Chains A and B, each alone.
Chain A
Amino acid sequence: DSGVTQTPKHLITATGQRVTLRCSPRSGDLSVYWYQQSLDQGLQFLIQYYNGEERAKGNILERFSAQQFPDLHSELNLSSLELGDSALYFCASSVEGQSNQPQHFGDGTRLSIL
């Protein structure tokens, strides 16, 4: 158990809808990361937050947004969903936001768009 908690484990919804994925980092970790894992693209970095502030952005679509709250949990919001958004979404956390620190992953949310 990594200590990173993600909810829900599974989400099934339709095209055009909006969903919110939630992540609680490991106790003491200030930085949260979101990744998308699909069969054809592998694990792709989306966005990083550190202590409530956005730190780095990757290949995150404009339809997607995220935030980190004062209690350090984070939410990833996906809107105007398309079939291609079906994937596993992982959250990871690390103690701080600098490089050279291991990230610890949750077990993900599996999003299925029908």
Chain B
Amino acid sequence: GESVGLHLPTLSVQEGDNSIINCAYSNSASDYFIWYKQESGKGPQFIIDIRSNMDKRQGQRVTVLLNKTVKHLSLQIAATQPGDSAVYFCAENIPGGYNKLIFGAGTRLAVHP
């Protein structure tokens, strides 16, 4: 499949380690955030979301942290596996824009055995 974002920042981790992917979002009024995973040749896959009235949310092996003070979002993946290798995007929703999502540039996660 086509490579998305050939010049994306890359995070390289060892299998079994924890991964932290960071995202700076653009608008202090944004009230909803989503993390997506995109594998080569596929569309963005929903991982986890968080509303602005929360600062942490956990899913299966993933945790999202939201720091509204500095407009920062992070995705933590526990016990990273080779299947986690992909490009990860954060997306924000600005109130009044219906459900239009503004995507970040993405981070490539490379998991090494």
Listed in ascending order, the chain A residues whose CB lies under 8 Å from chain B are 2, 4, 6, 31, 33, 37, 39, 42-45, 48, 50, 55-56, 58, 88, 90, 92, 94, 97-108, 110
**A99→B34 contact, CB < 8 A:** no
| Count of B interface residues, CB-CB < 8 Å | 30
Say yes or no: is B65 at the interface (Cβ < 8 Å to chain A).
no
- Apart from the given pairs A2-B46, A43-B44, 12 other A-B contacts in the complex at a CB distance below 8 Å: A2-B43, A31-B99, A56-B97, A88-B4, A94-B99, A97-B99, A99-B93, A100-B99, A102-B49, A104-B46, A105-B36, A105-B43
**B89→A43 contact, CB < 8 A:** yes
User: Assuming A98-B98, A100-B32, is B106 touching A90 (CB within 8 A)?
Assistant: no
**A107→B41 contact, CB < 8 A:** yes
In the complex, the chain B residue whose C-beta lies closest to that of A37 is B4
**A110→B2 contact, CB < 8 A:** yes
Interface string of B41-52 (1 = CB under 8 A from A): 111111001010
User: A26 to B44, alpha carbons, bound, how many Å?
Assistant: 15
User: Assuming A45-B102, A48-B100, A56-B98, is B51 touching A100 (CB within 8 A)?
Assistant: yes
Listed in ascending order, the chain B residues whose CB lies under 8 Å from chain A are 2, 4-6, 31-32, 34, 36, 41-46, 49, 51, 89, 91, 93, 95, 97-106
Partner of A39, one of B5, B34, B51, B104: B5
**A42→B93 contact, CB < 8 A:** no
Smallest CB separation, B4 vs chain A (Å): 7
User: A105 to B103, alpha carbons, bound, how many Å?
Assistant: 13
**B93→A56 contact, CB < 8 A:** no
Partner of B93, one of A4, A100, A108: A100
Smallest CB separation, B113 vs chain A (Å): 27
**B31→A99 contact, CB < 8 A:** yes
Smallest CB separation, A37 vs chain B (Å): 7
Please give, as numbers and ranges, the residues of chain B lying within 8 Å of A107 by CB-CB distance: 41-43
User: A27 to B91, alpha carbons, bound, how many Å?
Assistant: 24
